[in-house]
Amino acid sequence: MRSEVARTPRRSFAAGLASGFMGTVTGMSGPPLAVVFAHEHGPVVRSTLGVIYGIGSILSIGALLVARRIDTTDLWLAALLTAPVVAGFGAGRLLLGRVSKRFLHRAILGVVGGCAIILFLGAM
């Protein structure tokens, strides 16, 4: 039996609020969005999450700059971590046509699940 949550404007808005709240409180903003977008096609999920996390990052960085909680070390670290992100985008483009959707789906669930476990263990 397959159960799914239909994506409606109200549910998307609620997931966005929950995601923002959870991201602020615990650093884990993905689960509400994952529920709403679980059965959408890849391009829809990637573009929507890119916009959501992009805007959220800009707001967070802006707030941290206003509060003077970011220094040059943070900016250098961000620049350093940008290289693996760009490499990941490049690898994703190369592998997209060569990897089965089923494997990719399981790999994503595995990585997300592993990250959740690490976050939970780190919070203990």
The overall pTM is greater than 0.75? no
- With a cut of 70, say whether residue 88 has pLDDT above it: yes
Q: Which amino acid is at 47?
A: S
Q: CA-CA distance, 65 to 56, in Å (whole number)? A: 14
Q: What is the pLDDT of residues 1-17, one digit of tens each?
A: 455 667 788 877 877 77
Q: Which amino acid is at 120?
A: F
